[in-house]
Amino acid sequence: MTIQEIRADELDPAQFIQTRVSAIREAVGDGLAINALSGGVDSSVVTMLGHRALGDRLQTVFVENGLMRQGEPQQIVDRFRELGVPVAIHDARDRFFAALRGLTDPEAKREAITQTFYRDVFADLVRSSGARFLLQGTILTDVDETVAGIKRQHNVLAQLGIDPQAAFGYRVLEPLIELRKDGVRKVGAALGLPEAVYQRMPFPGPALAARVIGEVTSERVAAVRLATAVLEEELAASQPFQVMAILHADRVTGMRDGRRDYGHQIEVRCWDSVDARAATPTRLDYDTLDRLAARLVTEVPGVVSVTYNITPKPPSTMEAI
Amino acid sequence: MTIQEIRADELDPAQFIQTRVSAIREAVGDGLAINALSGGVDSSVVTMLGHRALGDRLQTVFVENGLMRQGEPQQIVDRFRELGVPVAIHDARDRFFAALRGLTDPEAKREAITQTFYRDVFADLVRSSGARFLLQGTILTDVDETVAGIKRQHNVLAQLGIDPQAAFGYRVLEPLIELRKDGVRKVGAALGLPEAVYQRMPFPGPALAARVIGEVTSERVAAVRLATAVLEEELAASQPFQVMAILHADRVTGMRDGRRDYGHQIEVRCWDSVDARAATPTRLDYDTLDRLAARLVTEVPGVVSVTYNITPKPPSTMEAI
């Protein structure tokens, strides 16, 4: 199957929305569909498109994996409620942290998060929903990266442990598959999504777990969550391309109340970039860096040291692991 | 025993040198003495003082532990040769790296270095030298810190496994014990030591091992050595109070030739300080930071990421471990 790319500059969003809404209606008929909303651009656009096509016959679930930013699950649900789209929060934090226990290898951690999402949590939700149609926000870049071996297979049914050949007739709908990110943003704008959603800062699939070096526990994620909130608050005005806090596993010596304190280090990365393919560290002024360090060592328990990454991509990558 | 402090502003260096030279001569008589030169201010001043008192009857040894900076052992020996003081280099690299193998706990590493130096290497040298007098560069701050429990005991003979009560009559001479660092620098200047010696940047006892987080191997020390040489070269003109490169054990993702490369991270610390009790990160301009990062990822094998520490002391300490 060859997918015909629709370039953003050729895209007519209104027409695209109309044809995709019709296609979804035709496919689903009077059946039920389900989709998982992560809050990212692609899944947000699919959610809007699916609701325009199916209304209440699309069930949208936000899986709370315990790895999201401060207040993020509720914020996403509230935002969609304001748009008239109900989203159910499914609390699966314990299952994710149980799956991550003791893992330190980055690939093993990523795999545990993916498996927990698809095989455990989402598979249960799909089966109990009675839906036979899954809406997915796959875009052309995902397909390219799967072919190139950079990303995992986007064969969702196989990941759910559901045989698509079986009599049940499960079917995956991927209405954005001919678009790239810039096209998806145009469609998002035309669907009436707020700019904060369709222009959202890139955020990795494994969420804050990608910013915990070593074992991912709820305490360590909480430290990164708090640090991230500080960074986003302090740098809100300068609107960086991307800013992140990374909790290291290496411990370093510090001093608290005149005593040695073998504590934690947070690494801050703040990127200038056009398209994420190349990036340079933002030249934050030292008054800002001082303020970030002062707040992080005060507000994040156990942190005695803060660094700022000064390496461009390449040879660095934007995320640490 | 109470030690009477001699404050730097009350110190008459010429008179101090004269009385200490006499005292050393009187104590040693026509016997032999030995001392270990590390290249630091205190041991350099003791070496000069001891040679002025004893000439060839003081044997000065530089123990090459494999943990020093680039070219440092030879540089130190050359510098003292120019001053008319012969220094023997004793190569003990294998013994130090063997003792450090598999150790990751900072205290265990420090202990291994101390034990290897005193019990293994220096004890052998003392016994085979025939000397009964050890000259030590202990200063008043060391005594204070021993009493306060911050530093280890400076009972050198016990550390050497030599019973000072035994018939051999081993004796330790500590001619600088009434001084603090600023007084020692004044004496160093008066003894004709070059400014580069008596104003030397502070450098920790465990040397570059203090800047390797995790296991200390000769390869990992070599990476820190190379990084340190780059930093000292690039920042020579700005003469920071102290600058250091730290190799982390945590690995981070990078990209080399378009491929993922799970590599190493170097942390740079550069301090502004008056007396090391408090310190703030030097506000290096971003052109300098860019140049440091570019050289470190190019010249130090396996390094894909460089950070700059932005935390003041306290709550940070100057060294990482």
pLDDT tens digit sequence for A267-279: 999 999 987 889 9
Residue located via tokens 């560290």: A281
Which of A260, A292, A295, A310 has the most B C-beta neighbours within 10 Å, making it the best mutation to test the interface with B?
A310
The answer on pLDDT for B317 being more than 70 is yes
Are the beta carbons of B253 and A319 separated by less than 8 Å?
A: yes
The answer on pLDDT for B163 being more than 90 is no
Strand partners, B88: B61
Are the beta carbons of B317 and A262 separated by less than 8 Å?
A: no
* Rg, Å, chain A Cα set: 21
Helices (H), chain A: 13-28, 41-54, 72-82, 93-100, 106-115, 123-129, 140-147, 156-160, 181-190, 195-198, 218-234, 286-299
Q: How far apart are CA B201 and CA B38, in angstroms?
A: 13
Helices (H), B72-200: 72-82, 93-100, 106-115, 123-129, 140-147, 156-160, 181-190, 195-198
Q: How far apart are CA A234 and CA B276, in angstroms?
A: 30
The answer on pLDDT for B2 being more than 90 is no
Q: What is the DSSP string of B68-85?
A: SPTTHHHHHHHHHHHTT-
Residue located via tokens 């191997």: B217
**pLDDT at position B183:** 95
What's the pLDDT band for B184 if we cut at 50, 70, 90? very high
Q: Which of B297, B313, B314 sits opposite A311 (nearest CB)?
A: B297
- The reply to whether the predicted model has a pTM over 0.80 is yes
Helices (H), chain B: 13-28, 41-54, 72-82, 93-100, 106-115, 123-129, 140-147, 156-160, 181-190, 195-198, 218-234, 286-299
Nearest to A216 by CA among A113, A297, A301, A305: A113
| Tokens linked to A106 | 């980055």
Answer whether A68's CB lies under 8 Å from A92's CB.
Answer: no
Residue located via tokens 């050949």: A165
Chain B residues whose beta carbon lies within 8 Å of the beta carbon of residue A297: 311, 315-316
> Pairing mode, if any, of strands B242-256 and A280-281?
unpaired
Answer whether A160's CB lies under 8 Å from A119's CB.
Answer: yes
The answer on pLDDT for B170 being more than 80 is no
Nearest to A292 by CA among A257, A268, A309: A268
| Tokens linked to B185 | 């620098």
Using a CB–CB cut-off of 8 Å, the residues of B that contact A are 106, 213-214, 248-250, 252-256, 260-263, 267-268, 283, 286, 289-290, 292-293, 297, 304-317, 319-321
State whether residue A96 is helix, strand or coil: helix
pLDDT tens, B191-218?
999 998 888 877 777 889 999 999 999 9
Q: How far apart are CA A91 and CA A24, in angstroms?
A: 28
What's the pLDDT band for B146 if we cut at 50, 70, 90? low
Nearest to B304 by CA among B230, B229, B250, B235: B250
Residue located via tokens 């328990």: A301
> Pairing mode, if any, of strands A58-64 and A33-36?
parallel
Are the beta carbons of B293 and A306 separated by less than 8 Å?
A: no
Nearest to A186 by CA among A289, A41, A290, A40: A41
Which of B220, B282, B316 has the most A C-beta neighbours within 10 Å, making it the best mutation to test the interface with A?
B316
**pLDDT at position B268:** 98
**pLDDT at position B201:** 75
B119: left (phi over 0), alpha (psi -120 to 50) or beta: alpha
Are the beta carbons of A305 and B309 separated by less than 8 Å?
A: yes
Q: Which of B283, B293, B317 sits opposite A311 (nearest CB)?
A: B293
**pLDDT at position A227:** 98
Q: How far apart are CA A40 and CA A47, in angstroms?
A: 11
| Tokens linked to A58 | 């699309």
Average pLDDT estimate for B81-94: 96
| Tokens linked to A67 | 């790895």
> Pairing mode, if any, of strands B171-173 and B133-135?
parallel
Are the beta carbons of B310 and A293 separated by less than 8 Å?
A: yes
| Tokens linked to B303 | 């390094």
Which residue positions in chain A have pLDDT lower than 70?
1, 145-169
**pLDDT at position B171:** 85
Are the beta carbons of A304 and B297 separated by less than 8 Å?
A: no
pLDDT tens, B93-108?
999 999 999 999 988 9
Output the CA–CA distances (angstroms, integers) from residue B245 to A17, A249, B145, in the order listed.
55, 18, 26
| Tokens linked to A193 | 């999504």
Q: How far apart are CA B92 and CA B161, in angstroms?
A: 19
Task: Give the other-Cβ count within 10 Å of B155's Cβ.
Answer: 11
Which of A104, A110, A244, A252 has the most B C-beta neighbours within 10 Å, making it the best mutation to test the interface with B?
A252
Report chain A's mean pLDDT, rounded to a whole number: 90
The answer on pLDDT for B314 being more than 90 is yes
Query: Distance between terminal CA atoms of chain B?
Result: 33
Are the beta carbons of A213 and B252 separated by less than 8 Å?
A: yes
Answer whether B180's CB lies under 8 Å from B139's CB.
Answer: yes
